[in-house]
Structure 1
Amino acid sequence: MDTGYVLGFSDRTFADFFFEELNIDTSVSSLFDGRGTSKAKRLRSFIENAPASVVAKALRKLWEYRESMSWPSVGIRDNYFAVVAIFEGASDHIDSSAFEAFEPSQTLDELIAAIRRDLNAKKPEAGLDRLHTYCMKRFASLVRKHEGGECGENDALHARVGRYANCLPRSAISPKCRSA
């Protein structure tokens, strides 16, 4: 889709495909708006905006269409359906990219490695205590950075989060949080 084309569709056949396969009128659905007018940009917008189950169905139908054209699929089918599985909620993959070393520390590096090992071993419950420790360290670091103070060793996680939230400018807090 790098060039803006999608499976050789014209604008009309792209619209026909979504209407016939998913009963979605691309000309009136806001799911296709926001990224541009090329078919690839409209499809990306659809993937970002549509419910996951609808995206999964569309991706499966697009694959069926692709196969009907007898295009080679060597090396891409497994990756493609791994993505479809994520939209279907059937993926075993747990994304651990949010865990990062926010300050230089060997123990922090070891903690992150242990969390990732637990997640990769499909044992998220085993990493729950480590996740709590990570959050304690993360919010203590944020308090040091934004408030200039230190957290007590016995401070609870919610207390650290509260101290950090109090450091944020009022404009950075969502209106829902401000009214609470």
Structure 2
Amino acid sequence: MSLTFIEKNKFEKLFGMKSGYVLDFSDRTFQEFVGDSVGIDIYEEKYNYGSGSKANRLRGFWNVESNYNIGKLLEKLLEYWLEQAQSGEINFDIADENNHKDCLIIVAKLKAENPVENIDAIQANSDDRTFKILAESIREGINNDEPEKGLDRLHTFTIKYVRQLCENHQITFDKETPLHSLFGGYVKKLVKKGLIESEMTERILKSSISVLEAFNGVRNNQSFAHDNVILNYNESILIFNNVSNVIRFLETIEKPKTEQKEEIIEEWNDLPF
């Protein structure tokens, strides 16, 4: 979604933007607040909208930023408004209270539009506690809209995830086997077992082998795995979406296998021994 005219008007009224201001911020404090909230310099040229006032800077932010970032900043501004209202720093009435509630609902919708569609697929496929913590930290980074910071962890996660798949299918490997080779062996096993129904799906998965080989280079040269200049936001999002989409599909292949194991265990537990 994007902010509609009516939704923008709700925030404009609550924040007193008609005057050109945003709440009681000065230029300096507004810059600091936005920087602390979303890690962005609101006085960058791309946010220079209209007269360049604080209110227009915020409008410029609405025009160019992702829904998630917009929601994140508006959420912080709503928190600040509530703090100011409760401390008596600003005057408000029942209409403002209702408007604040409406704005919270709008923010929730904005933040629900995560830039990585299948981020919930980033889940450990074993009981390894460290693996679970790793997966959680990656999801948290995406929820904070910081994909660039998580590329090295996503690479580590993907290696652990694919290694577990290989173990599940009795595919031999060692600690030195690179990610793309692990995945190549896994795809070959899926094809051999007849778990892939179409030639197109097979081709898509095989194309992912070369993609994951390139991921090794990103991890080594464009992530925080080493002292690197990290990859830009948009390409990081592309990588996250590509990897999470593949993992989501692999779940559909592996889930029946897991459920079948659970059914067998239940059947053995039912035997009168």
What's the TM-score bracket when you normalise by the shorter of the two chains?
A: 0.3 to 0.5
TM-score (normalizing by structure 1): 0.46
Q: Which structure would you say has the larger Rg?
A: 2
Higher RCO (Cα < 8 Å, 6 or more apart): 2
